Amino acid sequence: MEHVAREPSTASSNSLPTTGKRLNDDDVTVAYVGGGSRQWVPDLVQDLALSEFDGTVRLYDVDIESAARNAEFGNWVQDRDAATAEWEYTATDDLAGALDGADVVLLSTQYNPTETFVHDLDIPKEHGIYGAVAATIGPGGIFRAMRTIPLYREFAAAVRENCPDAWVFNFTNPVHFVTRALYDEFPGINAFGMCHEVLHGRDRLAKLATEHLGMDADRSDISVNVKGINHFTWIDEAYCRGVDLWPLIDELARGEEGNRTFSPAELEGESPFVDPWQVSWELYREFDLLPFAGDRHIVEYATWFLQGGKEGLNRWGVKRTGSGFRAKHWTPSESEQTTDVEAWLSGETGFELEASGEVLLDVLEALSGGAEFVTNVNVPNRGQVEGIERGAVVETNALVGANEIRPLSAGGFPRPVRSLIRTHVDTIETVVEAARTGDLDHAFRGFLLDPQVRTLQTEEARELFAELVAAEEKYLDDWNIDGAEVLAKADAY
């Protein structure tokens, strides 16, 4: 497909903007649902300390001890000399009290992965499904959604009751399932799914523009037309300070950079987050669009890359995130990936106040009347993506301004890519429908739609589904397990 150079897209949205509270930057009330978070809250604390806002953060968590530790850390950070804002942190296990009159609600929760996530990875593997991440789609991602959706319906109902005009930002995976569930429960909610995969993609393009075009670029210099669903986003335009990057993208995809192969031995010492973009370059060559999420996520949507087990996946430079990594990640003392607040508070580890690189504060500043800001968001489709049903949660850019977030029109897809995306949308919509009444049999129909599951015969798919239910039953008490036909058939088989 010939790429026609043109100016960066500034198209307005076909959809209606979402409007909510105008933020008062010297008195903002933030309710953090999942306030015991081991990584997101410490990052937020630092961003807020360096922000233009002052206010109060209520950290809600059923694990009140973890929330209290984070509150102590937040107030401790406020005493650092580098802190420029004034914030007060409190911990609570009262959801309604945390949400009461809040201006901003942040959602970031996770169940104990040693009782959930490890099963999402290990049980499908026993059936030959070698998922790379198992966090947002595939059998593991679907079960993560089934655990999470009922809880987030409760959160949406509580927002409706206590702060209906608040700005709600969801960071919990699977972002598309969870954000869709929030709107399914409370259609009037001002909720947005947030993800940094597109930000990392912009970082990658800035690096390429610097290395190959000598532009000394960073993320803020990159503009892209992004569209798709979370972790399966694509771009068809890319610019660096107005310079069209598509010729460079095409050159790299067809040259040595885009045609590398790897062996398991070469990846042995690499992090699970390694990403040489070989899957992305291959899909660009096939479809003339560039995927714009990490390859470890992309392969779970374009599932033919998962075939061949470890060697098949490693060939593209992708490593599987194993259950051992997920279990270790849950223990701060053993994990390099998890922020250790206690070590900072005790002085065991030195602390330096620094920004996280996330964009939430830029969004809040724009909402309060500061400079307009463009970033990627996940929100129900109101026309911003063509060819995908309305109401399904899609990811595009949005223009954030005073008191509004306006998704930008992104256009549609070539038929093959549209078909890939629609399959996953149908899975998401079916599981969300099933969650309204806890209908486990209807959830299984969504499970069967997933391309990873479709590698199995029906009887084995039922067996896999039943094994996951049995392993995670304590987290599925909102589903009608007793009398479910799918489980009875699995037992008979």
Q: Which of 118, 114, 136, 130 is nearest to 318 (CA)?
A: 130
> CA 277, CA 209: separation in Å to the nearest integer?
16
Distance, CA of 154 to CA of 430 (rounded, Å): 19
Is 119 in the active site? no
Sign of dihedral through CA atoms 420, 108, 198, 411?
positive
Give the span between the Cα atoms of 239 and 77, in whole angstroms. Answer: 38
φ/ψ of residue 38, rounded to 5: -90, -10
CA distance 362 to 356: 12
Distance CA 164, CA 153 (A): 14
Contact present, 355 and 362 (Cβ < 8 Å) = no
* Torsions phi, psi for 179 (to 5 deg): -65, -40
| DSSP type of residue 226 | E
3, 127, 176, 196: which one is catalytic?
196
272, 323, 325, 318: which is closest to 298 by C-alpha?
A: 318
CA distance 160 to 187: 10
Distances (CA, A) of 485 to 429, 435, 440: 21, 16, 8
Report yes or no: 488 and 132 within 8 Å, Cβ to Cβ.
no
Question: Among all residues, which ones are annotated catalytic?
Answer: 196
